[in-house]
Chains A and B, each alone.
Chain A
Amino acid sequence: MEYSGAVAFIRKSDPLMETHLADFIRDTSTGKEAEAILRTCVHCGFCTATCPTYQLLGDELDGPRGRIYLIKQVLEGETPTQKTQLHLDRCLTCRSCETTCPSGVKYARLLDIGREIVDAKVPRVGVDAALRAGMRNVLPRAGVFGTAMKLGQMVRPLLPRAIKAKVPPLTSAGPLPDTATHSRKMIALAGCVQPSMYPNINGAAARVLDRLGISMLHAGSAGCCGAVRFHLGDPEAARDDARRNIDAWWPLLEAGAEALVMTASACGVQVRDYGHLLQDDPDYQHKAARVARLTRDISEILTAESARLQAILTDLPPPDAASKQMAFHSPCTLQHGLQLRGVAEKLLTAAGFALTPIADSHLCCGSAGTYSVLQAEISQRLRDNKLAALLGPVTSSRRPRTIASANVGCISHLAGGTEVEVRHWVELIDRRLTGQV
């Protein structure tokens, strides 16, 4: 074997993902999970190509591969500083990288683990700490947030532009169908932010489902899906949210409700993860798994009912040329989180709308839940880029009349940067079915 002598001559170190986790985590279930994820990464760097922050900032530390490295260092016992925390904070958790990754690295899961450990080791200080605590406590409580939002809406004309952008004009849910009409029933997520900001979204979903022979129910004591607290580093509170919701939904499911309807894709991702979130809870693990299994994005439900939907649409006159021009922004939680690409788009096209092709449609709009508040500068740059891609030049004759999306966060974020109307796509289907377009 001629080369055996040569091998020792090469200065060589261990392969990257041969991990040496530190004592504090090595034998925990989290440690094992993290190690398994790290071992799947082959360091090819494909993820950087579709990462919004890497594309914006061009620093390895602001892309998925670099963050995996930062997390690995922490898991191996290095003491993180605010630098590591900053780069992890800058991640939008859009999971575009997961769609791109050829090796199937579960990046978002690793990031959750990394953030939890780093936040435990690097205390939040100053404005950052106050903002986070405020959002953790206010946003998930429908009642509290609702009051704050109503106040904001009443004084909207008086607000400075930056804050005004976050407070949409007051709308109503519109006429709601009787929930007792149909034998087929599905449960809506009451949510936290969405009913106050955009009550018409669930209203529209209820009307569209009603036309398809399905009644949409609300479970009184259900609330926030838990995503806000989970992503602000309070997983235990998020588990409480999940347990409370499961308790609220359970009797309805037992009574024959066939699915949980999600009209915000971010909530859909969170609820679909309940099984994983409560896997170590013996009282809830089975119920959580069933809830996760029955969770559907509204686009999945309409696709399953598309024959019936099409039958109704065929009898309607086509939309007029101007109002059918539309741009669809697919939320990261929809296309990367739920892996539903082209589904809502297909429903809109079938309903007679004309969708503009969008450059870099895989990129995040910068909303990313609380990100738009915590990383305002990056968030705003991403929003400007996204709006430019969605709307094209002002002079274009094919400039879309409406932007449609599928998640409340994106809708309010985008609406804050343009005069063009931004809606949930199901509202547009509702408009079609009710003859408004």
Chain B
Amino acid sequence: MMSIQTPAEGADTFPLPSRESDRGRGGENQTNSPVGADDTLLCVTTDIDTALAHSAEQDQNFASIHHATLFSRLKKILPQGALLQVKEDLAPYECDGLSAYRRIPLAVALPEDEAQVVAVMKACYEAGVPVVARGAGTGLSGGAMPHEQGLVLSLAKLKRIVRIDKYSRTAVVQPGVRNLAISEAAAPFGLYYAPDPSSQIACSIGGNVAENSGGVHCLKYGLTVHNVLRVRVVLADGDVVTLGSEALDSAGLDLLALFIGSEGLLGIATEVTVKLTPKPQFAQCILASFDDVRRAGDAVAAVIAAGIIPAGLEMMDQPATRAVEPFVKAGYDINAAAILLCESDGTKEEVGDEIARMKAVLEGCGATEIRVSQSEAERILFWAGRKAAFPAAGRVSPDYYCMDGTIPKRRLADMLIAITELEKKYGLRCMNVFHAGDGNLHPLILYDANVPGELERTEAFGAEILKLSVDFGGTITGEHGVGFEKINAMCEQFASDELRIFHGIKAAWDARGLLNPGKAVPSLHRCAEFGRMHVHGGQTAFPEIERL
């Protein structure tokens, strides 16, 4: 029998006595506003406006802060051994999964519960010290790279699965819980957590929320934003708010959607409620070969146009299959110009029906070979090759640089052909693995960091791919986030007005700009500097910003 519980009393959506907004009203009248002087409708905050002006125009400098008081306070808050301060201990925290960008932080804090997180945040807020949140450190855009004058706040010790509820199909977990650990814990109930980024074995749910992580199945099952119901957030000043609810919607603006994917700039997640999905009964995968990348790209569009939403639709080009096959032995056709992996899941009947239809479409698009997995072991083997693509790059080349643009599916072949030209231009090899179903590209540029100049050529190569992604009507990042890595490319995708709104949003949550400064949203000054070398359609970008 189903047990129905009444949720605990005292959830904080309930009306509480209103509180003077501490830096809210300020009594400042808007001279141009129709709002009367007695009207408190607008929380016009001088603090926010000042912060906005600062952070939007210029990157902040935190160098002049005195740290001794902060450290003695943090020591009282945190358990023994949970505050790291000397370089020997700090260096291993100097980067996340993107090791090309590194900084030694001021200190690392390892709180064990939400109360300690709140206390640490309050201490840093009062000291004016930046805070960079870190989960498992598997991010690929430098989002958790430390700030030299800031604290790294590791959430790795908050790793308790608070509750799994079979009937409401939800799990309440702390931010340090690994993505895969949720699915493992839900497995006995026939449920799982759907978003499956490639790093799911190690990445934490807090990081997934910060980056709005995707995965190979998100065309059908959605991204993190579609699978998270509720988040408890510690704000920059230490206040705790709850966004979303265990119901399907909640009152007011959709702050939960705004928070998810905000890359640690708006707050620190300390508890996450995720939606669990019934495990499909059955899954099968088609492995299709094409002798031409354009035909493979067209086949992707044709599958969708036929009214099919595959559970996964991946594309790998020949360099990728040739790198993977020798060590995974997935059975890929290494003579094909490109291969597609098309997965169907659901009931046995659904899968049988869908596989037959996909097969017909792929044949019609000129596939040279089609294999359908005949067992679960074979299906897993087909995917093993795809999932091993990144590390395989690490085996065939000393270093690789992974890109993350997204483009409309109809431009997939154009992009592959353009990348081939860029390979010649930069004298570097590139292997391509695409989440083709949603147009998300992961070109892996292969290089050797010990060869002088190769890294610089690689970055220039990557920047051209990102620019092409924007030109093709797409975006510079589909799922890895902007972080530190793509901050300049943001100037390519957004004009100064949009960036100003972003800074306004930031100021609304974190008026002092302490959370993850210098990431995700570039200052207008940075874009002006960047645009100096880069002229759009005969016009200088950001003409209103004075150049140094």
Contact = CB atoms under 8 A, between A and B. Distances in A.
A and B touch in the complex (CB under 8 A): yes
Given A13-B100, A44-B199, A60 B88 contact: no
A15 B203 CA distance: 21
Given A1-B460, A58-B157, A102 B178 contact: no
A158 interface: no
Interface stretch (A79-87, A387-395, A416-424): A79-87
A44 B97 contact: yes
A18 interface: yes
A48 B394 contact: no
Contacts of B459: 3, 7, 10
Contacts of B505: none
Interface residues of B, number: 58
A39 B92 contact: no
B449 A78 contact: no
Nearest to A39: B398
B92 A69 contact: yes
B530 A9 contact: yes
B201 A49 contact: yes
Contacts of B202: 44-49
Interface in A35-58: 39-40, 42-50, 54-55, 57-58
Contact of B97 (A7, A43, A59, A83): A43
Contacts of A42: 99, 390-391, 394, 399-400
Nearest to B466: A3
Of A15, A45, A50, A104, the most chain B CB neighbours within 10 A belong to: A15
Contacts of B463: 2-3, 6-7
A5 interface: yes
B287 interface: no
Given A2-B533, A3-B534, A102-B391, A15 B110 contact: no
Contact of A9 (B87, B137, B201, B488): B488
Contacts of B460: 1, 3-4, 7
A420 B89 CA distance: 41
A80 B88 contact: yes
Contacts of B98: 43
Contacts of A13: 100-102
Contact of B449 (A4, A15, A44, A80): A15
A296 B390 CA distance: 34
Given A5-B534, A58-B159, A18 B201 contact: no
Nearest to A5: B533
A16 B156 CA distance: 22
B86 to A, nearest CB: 7
Nearest to A42: B394
B154 interface: yes
B386 to A, nearest CB: 13
B283 interface: no
Interface string A151-163: 0000000000000
For this complex, into which size category does the number of interface residues on chain A fall?
35 or more
Interface in B226-257: none
A45 B390 CA distance: 13
Contacts of B136: 45, 48-49
A18 B138 contact: no
A60 B100 contact: no
A356 interface: no
A391 B156 CA distance: 28
A73 interface: yes
A103 B101 contact: no
A10 B491 CA distance: 13
Contacts of B529: 9
Of A9, A58, A359, the most chain B CB neighbours within 10 A belong to: A58
B546 interface: no
Contacts of A254: none
Contacts of A7: 456, 459-460, 463
Contacts of A78: 87-88
Contacts, number: 149
Interface in B82-132: 84, 86-89, 91-93, 95-102, 110
Interface string A196-230: 00000000000000000000000000000000000
Contacts of B429: none
B178 A49 contact: yes
Interface in B69-91: 81, 84, 86-89, 91
A46 B91 CA distance: 19
Given A17-B99, A44-B97, A60-B92, A10 B533 contact: no
Contacts of B96: 45
Interface string A251-291: 00000000000000000000000000000000000000000
A6 B91 contact: no
Contacts of B488: 3, 6, 9-10
Contacts of A39: 398
Interface string B439-462: 000000000011000011001100
A65 interface: yes
Contact of A6 (B84, B88, B159, B533): B533
B522 to A, nearest CB: 11
Nearest to B134: A60
A84 B529 CA distance: 42
A27 interface: no
Given A58-B154, A73-B91, A44 B178 contact: no
A199 B43 CA distance: 79
A61 B449 contact: no
Interface string A356-370: 000100000000000
Contacts of B533: 2-6
A385 to B, nearest CB: 13
Contacts of B201: 46, 49-50, 100
Nearest to A359: B184
A78 B201 CA distance: 33
B199 A45 contact: yes
B362 interface: no
Contacts of B89: 61, 83
A43 B99 contact: yes
A320 interface: no
B95 A65 contact: no
B23 interface: no
B388 interface: yes
Contacts of B526: 9
B180 interface: yes
B395 interface: yes
B176 interface: yes
B532 interface: yes
A66 interface: yes
A409 B23 CA distance: 62
Nearest to A66: B92
A70 interface: yes
A201 to B, nearest CB: 33
30 contacts: A2-B463, A7-B456, A9-B488, A10-B101, A12-B101, A13-B100, A15-B449, A16-B102, A39-B398, A42-B394, A42-B400, A43-B98, A45-B138, A46-B201, A48-B137, A49-B136, A49-B202, A54-B156, A57-B157, A59-B156, A59-B157, A60-B156, A61-B89, A65-B92, A69-B91, A70-B88, A78-B87, A83-B88, A83-B89, A103-B391
Closest 7 CB pairs of A and B: A5-B533, A102-B391, A16-B99, A3-B463, A58-B157, A69-B92, A49-B202
Given A57-B157, A104-B395, 15 more contacts: A3-B488, A4-B533, A5-B532, A7-B456, A7-B463, A9-B488, A10-B487, A11-B101, A16-B100, A18-B449, A49-B136, A49-B180, A58-B110, A60-B92, A83-B89
